Structure 1
Amino acid sequence: MTRPATAVGPTIGQRWRTGRWVVLALLVIVVIAAVGTYLTAPRPGEPMDPQSTSPDGARALVSLLRDRGVDVVEARSVADVERAARDDTLIVFAQTSRLTDDDQLRRLAELPGDRLLVEPVSRAREALAPGLRTDGLSSFAVSPDCDLREANRAGDAQLGLAESYRAADPDVDVTRCYDGALVRYTDAGRTITVVGTSAFMTNDALLGQGNAALAMNLAGAAARVIWFTPQERDGAGGDASLADLIPDQVSWIVLQLILAVVLLAIWQGRRLGPLVAESLPVVIRASETVEGRGRLYRSRRARDRAADALRTGTLARLLPRLGLSATAQPGAVTQAVAARIGADPSVVGHVLYGPAPATDADLVTIARQLDDIERQVAHS
């Protein structure tokens, strides 16, 4: 008398092996969401900051320069500029309002390389571009009207209201464009360029008219550019905590992902219920097994496997009757069967070792031919 199987629930180890993938999936989703949010979230910053995506930031221009192959080095202090400055570099002074120390300005003025001053304050202009003086405000001029190649290639640009400049000394040869809003001259072997506004270089205005072309022509004049945006003065640090620096979108995304993973775990957990008690042994008739395998072959259109199973079974029953071993060669088996039943060896070989059937009708024909051969050998 057989005893019924006892239903046993999953053990702690089985539950952990199942649940650890849920925990791992949750961690991966949270990490991906956090990284994606960090990379796509807006990054406010100071005007002309190379990392800022705010309207007055310069991330778009810096990205365009790097896509063009320009090596842009971001500098946050005078020491950073000193380490990176070389004769073949262009130093972009994108924010000069914080350069109030005379010693810092002196150190910057002694550095090699060309200079591009963007809307400089008077103290920085006097130290870094001493050959210029202010000439009031320009009148929203959009046409370059000069011989400067970078300006003529860009054409008309929307500079807006900008500071204009002219030579401080008549002996200084200054090229003036856009009604003096863009000027350039040479001093001590270096090229010094000054623009009286940064509006055309910002993220918000870069798409206007020829702004992008003019900004890239000026800031990308060298293969290596030092983008200098000084940090806050010493002692002006913030008191924001780590939680304050995390964007609000991250918290909502993480909560939604946690809820989704919990619901997925509940849905999958319902499929791992207790075992079903079943009396053993279970007797399955051979006919049901044959029918099941037949349906499986038919559903997968596996005529080759079905024909191979039929031929293998027929040969297993024929070889003992013919006095041959299981290692007998196909040619020997074919000749023995043909001699026993008086049939054509080529026809027998085609039935026993032929190609796979192409249709269901061919498979049925092979089955009948195998049955006929086996019946004739048995009665011969």
Structure 2
Amino acid sequence: MSDVVARPVTAPSGSYATSPTARSTWRASRMIVLLGAIVVLIAVIGVLLSGERGPSRPLDPADTSLAGSKALAELLRARGVTVDRVDSVEAAADKAATGNRLLLITDMTYFDEYSLARIQGDRLIVGDQIGLSVLAPGLHSRPGIVRTRSREPECRLPAATLAGSAYIGQTAFYPPPGATGCYPAPDGGYTLVSYPNAGGVTTVVGDGAFMTNQRLAEDGNAALALNLIGTGRPVTWLVQPDQPPVGDLPGERGKSMYELMPDNIRWTVYMAIIAVAILAFWRGRRLGPVVTEKLPVIVRAAETVEGRGRLYRARRARQRAADSLRAGAIDRLTPRLGLGSGAGPHEVVAALAARTGQDPHQVGAALYGPPPTDDTGLVALAGYVDFIERQVSEL
């Protein structure tokens, strides 16, 4: 009897062919191939990392990322509208002093709302709710309760009715008397409100997604943005400073460990995982093919069968013993009956009954019936199964 073990491949004694085969060529060159694949993978990842841009600046007229508004700014300039990007209240006030302008506010994180409120004229506040009570007095809001999706204006504001549906939502506004609300929210509020205020008209929009480079070409987003901003007057577009002041915000905390990590750290982790996987594959295949090796002691098959039978008897495992007998008999009988390996019980029983002349019910009970309840029944089952096998073999 033999067993199966794994051992390194050794060259057989005697003469053998010296010409290389496909298998031997692969064994000799697989290390080079794996190293080449690793080099190519590292090069591709390096190109991807070198092409990464810095963080996007949402609704920034100079940002070309999906969250930026570079496309909208260029459309406004193409229509003859002057767009001035400023990052301080002082710069916005200086621009307002030059004439009638529209103040577009998209980020209030680093600005004082009271200083901005002194700038008279039309205001368009998009997405940012900080300081809204000062910049848009009388207006109440509930941020984050309206799902951003395509909505119909359902109002009489020309800028909205001419644009039609727009991708808008996020915040529900409850306007003061005399205000016009558009793009209704489910709870009765509006996602766009416009009303007279501060010597001009203040318009507040709950979400600026319709102004981004990603969404501008959808629905009536571009038309709505151009109608609200492109009134022909110069636009003062207030954005967050390129280098935000440190410590100016109340409750500012120190950066966490993850914020201090380099932006490319995740790619380093991915590269390490890939390298470990390739190394594991390479080292895991270092053994040769599986070969057979003679055992130092010959064990008779009958002794193995008897030993297993004694174990079944000691544990009273009649069901498991019966299942083993039946499974072995079915595996041996199926090809002799001309049936495929996936033949069902009905096919096997019908073929055996036709081949041996035995009662189909008796054959089915023997091969697929309930397990025997005692040792006598198990012996009788083994005898009957052996009888069926011998009949099929003799016919």
TM tier, shorter chain?
A: 0.3 to 0.5
Q: Which has the higher strand share?
A: 2
- The normalised TM-score by structure 2 is 0.45
- Largest Rg, 1 or 2: 1
TM value normalised by structure 1? 0.47
